[in-house]
Structure formats: structure tokens, C-alpha cells
Structure 1
Amino acid sequence: MKFISIVIFTFISQFSFAQSIFGKDAIIEKSLSERWELDDEDKNGTFKLTFYKPIYVLPARWSSNPNELPQSENPDNSFTEAQNYDQVEAKFQLSLKTKLLQSFLFGHGDLWLGYTQLANWQVYNDPVSRPFRELNYEPEVIVNFPMKINLLGIDLRMAGFGFNHQSNGRDLPRSRSWNRLMFHAAFEKDNFQLYLKPWIRIESPDKDDNPAISDFIGRMEANFIYNLNKHSVNLIGKNSLDFDKNRGSLELNYFYSVKSNLRLHFQAFTGYGETLIDYNHKQTTLGIGVSFIDW
């Protein structure tokens, strides 16, 4: 009942306010070239902050199975006492990128710096003083090459590789982190875009906060984006690529534009690794809120 009440209040208040203040407007759609400055007419130089992944606030996020006893295959990173977590919390994400070098590597590549921060906040949990349950920090360096290759009627618009670090910046037993060498290719056709991102984990020679993380969160991500009028869908699938123990996750984001970059945002997640502390914990979550900008 608590989650339902929060959802109803959030949806009605945000939708009514947005419609009364802003009126009607179509969703802003950006091509891959506009997002990543692929074509000459879309290039904006270096050290200009732009948006990367979705920026959103979900005041109400419900979990079917809160991770009250986080565990790791490394016993030093395993909780011994259960935490009193609510099923309902808030979740928000901030994500930006900037170009460090333009048209390097014989004039064909761009070097980007990206940063994403994800927060899960037990804001309604007064008995434990409303803590941030998990904060994930994700800086990355990306080398990107613009392309124009037609493959079976779909355009391959860019490809590249990068170094990705993700951690929660906590001490034991909460500490979680990993490093990845990531590859990417992005395709585009009319109103849809598709990103494919396989990666190789870089093992730590000293210690491992989360052994077998690739067997749970996965070794590859597929990100599908589709825009239609005022509606936008973002589907993210991750998979371990292990046929014996096939694990991963699926996340659905639905956006409804109420004014340009202001959107109502519904999110559904199922599987492993919604956050790093949950890397080997399976749950289904539902969230509702707003997305602020076009990404």
C-alpha cells in the first residue's frame, strides 16, 4: 500500500503540474550523430559537457526482494547481519560526458570522458535514519570512430572501445568494484538505435570484492532505443554468455514527453546486478518518476 500510494501521488502530481505549466510538446529526438558528434555539421569541439545516459529521479522504486544480507564469494565482503531495508526507496541517476580530443588518430577518432553516478536512497526508512543504501560511481574513457556502413538496411554509425571503472566507494564488507575493457558498436534506422557493448573484465591482482561478477551481471549489453511521437522506449539487456548458467538482467525504461526534455519516466528491472552491492542478488523492481533531459 505504501508503494501504491507513493506511485499514485507521484504520477498525478507530476503529470498534472507538467501539463498545466508546459502544455503540449513533442519529444526531442536526437540521432546518433547528434549524440556523439559523428558528422562534421554536428561536431562541437572539446571540453563541452553533454548528456550521456538518462538523467532521472524516481521518488518511488519498489523491490520484490530487497537485498538485506548482501553476500560475495569473497567472505570479507559478505554481511553477517541482515539490514532493515524497506521495499520502497528512491533512485536517481546523473550522467555526463565531454570530448577530450577531436579527430585524432589520423583524423578519424574522438576521445571521450564519461561519468555516471547512480544512487539508491532509503529515504522513507526512518528507523535506520534514511541512509543511502548504495552509491555507484562509473567513470570511463571512450575512443569512438564515426562510421557510415549499411548492413542489411541498417546503418552502422560508430564503433570503438574504452576503459570502464565502476565502484561504490565503500569500506568492508560493503566494498564492490570492477574494471572492464569495453567495446561498442552502434546502429541506427529511422526511429530506432541499437548499441552493442561486449566487455572483458580486467582482473585485480591483489583482491576481488566480487568474484564471478561477470557470471551474474554479464559480459555483454544490448541497448535498444525507439522513439514514436511523445513516447520513447529504452530496453537494456545484459547477459553472462554462459550457456550452463545463463544469467543477466533486463531493464525497461518508458518515457512520456510532457515538454521537450521533461518526461514522465517508468522503469522496470528484473535479474541480477541492478547495483554493484546487488551483483549476485536477483530481484524485480518497479519505479516511477521524471527524466529531465534528452540523452
Structure 2
Amino acid sequence: MIKRNSSPPLCKMLLLSILIVVQLGFSQDNVDQDWIFKNSKTLSELWELDEEHHRGTFLITSYKPIYFTLAKFSTDTNKFPISEERNNVLPEPVDLNVVEAKFQLSMKTKVFYKVLWGKADVWAAYSQRAYWQIYNKELSRPFRETNYEPEIILNFPVNFDVLGFKGKMLGAAFIHESNGRSNPISRSWNRLAFHAGFDRGPLQIMLKNWIRLGGSNDDNPQISDYIGRGEAKVTYDWGRQRFYAIVRHSLKFGNKSRGSIQLNYTFPIIKNFSGHIQVFDGYGESMIDYNHRQTTFGLGVSLIN
């Protein structure tokens, strides 16, 4: 029989502490105007798309948001992960807590500047997400899942108008993502992705579509029908607050019309230290959950947006 864990006192104390800090952060809005929440970088700044913003090669800069979710609650924790390869299953369910911690690290660096007749830049990027059963004392607080995602990105700065937006970048990337585990819970895939970036004042839109490379005989052959074949990320800055949504879809209809939506809200606490609320619904909250649907609610802090 599977024991149902409840949220321990430590979790409740952390949640209460975050709420108190959030309130203090909002209450100081009119106290100190000498610092500005640095969350309104344009695509030109983030990807150094012109001479004004070029910083050189092999300098480490941020890529995806860097955050630490102190408590993330799932409506349906995946205690018995399974893939289409029915032999790849655990012998029995794992007694996981419904509340865990999560963090994401991400960075990039420009490797080559003005290649392909001076028209493009080449970047290398690395992201990592970890799901930590920090409140699960019975299992010695293990890391439930860690996802590794290195990328090689070819980026073309552009400048054109479309539907009131300014097209700023086009490009392609080779993306590998895996959880670094062995069977029966090994998950991995390779993708060739194509992207386009647009902005309009405080609003940014990144569109991405990918083709899966290989994978007909692996541990997750139908991953594209769950996690998706395309992604749209919309970011909006409102003063010192930021809203962003990430939507993925399989680009299929009928019973294969699947995907996910992730909603994020960050708000200033002190300088570049921000509060972070995240809501996720759908498939693929992590690699091990690629074919498992759930809704999660997370509360934590963000260091780099």
C-alpha cells in the first residue's frame, strides 16, 4: 500500500516565510527608487543582435530564467513512471511526496561572431532543471529527476515588420535533452529546432518548431505526441513585474492533440531578487513525466529573468 505523505511543518514554515518576504517587497516600492528591477531586456540585448549590444565571445550570460521553487505541489504526482516500451517500468510505485522543490539553471555564451559571410552568430547554451523531494524524509530527501539540456544555436539578426511587431531574430538549434538515468527510467531525445523572435515594446514573442532526430527504438518513442512539436513563449514586462507563458503542442488533432501550458509571474523583492509563482498544466513537466498529465503550483524566488 502506498503511504500518502502530507506537507511537513518545514514546508509550511517556508511558504509562510515567502509570503512575508513578498509583502515586504511590495511595501518598499516607494521607499527606494535608486534600484530598478532588471527584467526588461530586449531581444537585442539578450542576444546581442547589433553592434551596440555586442559583448564579445566566450562571455557567460543568462539564457532561460534562473529560479528556485521552494514548494511545488502536484495534483497527480507520477509515482509509477512508464513509457511505451512496457518493459521499462519500475518494479513498484515510489512513495513520493506531492510537494517538492524545483530549480532551474541556464546559461549561454557566444562562440563565433559574424559567421556565414557576417550574417550569423553561433551560441552554446546549457540548461538544467532539478526536482528535489526535499521534504520526503522517508526516502532521505532524494532528487527525483534531473534534466540536462545542452544546445548549439545558430542565430541570424534580422529587422522586419509583421503585424505591428518587429522581427528581430531567426535561427536554428540542435538540442539534446535527457535525464541521465539508466533503464527502466531513462528518457532522452534530440531535436533540430527553428526559431523566430519578435518584440513590440514590453512584449516579446518567441516561436519555435522542431523536428525530432531518430528515436524510433528508444525509451520514449512517442514523446513528440505528448511534449509537443512546437512552442510559443510570450513575455510581458509591467513596470518591475514580469509575466510569461510557455505553450507547447503536439500539432496534431484528435486523441493526439496534447501539450502543456506554463504560466509564470515574477515580482521584485529586493534589487534583482524576485518572487516567483509558477503554474503548469499538461504533459512533460519533466522528462520522466513526458506522458503523464498533471497540474502543479509552485512558489519560490527568481534570480535572473
- TM category (shorter chain) comes to over 0.9
Q: Which residue of 1 aligns with 2:102?
A: 91
Q: In structure 2, what is the Cα distance between the partners aligned to 1:255 and 1:13?
A: 13
Q: Which runs of 5+ in 1 are unaligned?
A: none
Given the alignment of the two structures, is residue 11 of structure 1 paired with residue 19 of structure 2, yes or no? Answer: yes
How far the C-alpha of 1:10 sits from its partner, in A, is 2.5
Q: In structure 2, what is the Cα distance between the partners aligned to 1:166 and 1:103?
A: 27
Q: Which residue of 1 aligns with 2:3?
A: none
The aligned amino acid for 2:248 is K
Q: Which residue of 2 aligns with 1:164?
A: 175
* Equivalences, count: 292
Equivalent residues of 1:26, 1:259 under 8 A apart = no
Q: Which residue of 2 aligns with 1:43?
A: 54
How far the C-alpha of 1:17 sits from its partner, in A, is 7.6
The aligned amino acid for 1:193 is Q
Deviates more, 1:6-15 or 1:224-233: 6-15
Q: In structure 2, what is the Cα distance between the partners aligned to 1:16 and 1:251?
A: 27
Deviates more, 1:3-12 or 1:243-252: 3-12
1:222-241 alignment runs, 5 A limit: 222-241=232-251
- Deviation string 1:230-274 (CA, Å, 9 cap, x unpaired) is 210010000001111210000001000223421110000000000
Given the alignment of the two structures, is residue 212 of structure 1 paired with residue 222 of structure 2, yes or no? Answer: yes
- Deviation string 1:68-90 (CA, Å, 9 cap, x unpaired) is 00010012322231000000000
> What's the Cα RMSD here?
1.8
The aligned amino acid for 1:32 is L
Deviates more, 1:153-162 or 1:5-14: 5-14
Normalising to structure 2: TM-score of the pair?
0.91
Given the alignment of the two structures, is residue 269 of structure 1 paired with residue 280 of structure 2, yes or no? Answer: yes
Normalising to structure 1: TM-score of the pair?
0.94
Given the alignment of the two structures, is residue 203 of structure 1 paired with residue 214 of structure 2, yes or no? Answer: yes
Higher relative contact order (CA 8 A, sep 6+): 1
1:119 alignment partner, SS class:
strand
How far the C-alpha of 1:45 sits from its partner, in A, is 1.1
How far the C-alpha of 1:4 sits from its partner, in A, is 5.6
Given the alignment of the two structures, is residue 147 of structure 1 paired with residue 158 of structure 2, yes or no? Answer: yes
Q: Which runs of 5+ in 2 are unaligned?
A: 1-5
Equivalent residues of 1:156, 1:187 under 8 A apart = yes
Given the alignment of the two structures, is residue 285 of structure 1 paired with residue 293 of structure 2, yes or no? Answer: no
Equivalent residues of 2:22, 2:269 under 8 A apart = no
Given the alignment of the two structures, is residue 130 of structure 1 paired with residue 141 of structure 2, yes or no? Answer: yes
The aligned amino acid for 1:36 is W
Equivalent residues of 2:25, 2:270 under 8 A apart = no
Equivalent residues of 1:63, 1:284 under 8 A apart = yes
* 1:247 maps to which of 241, 258, 262: 258
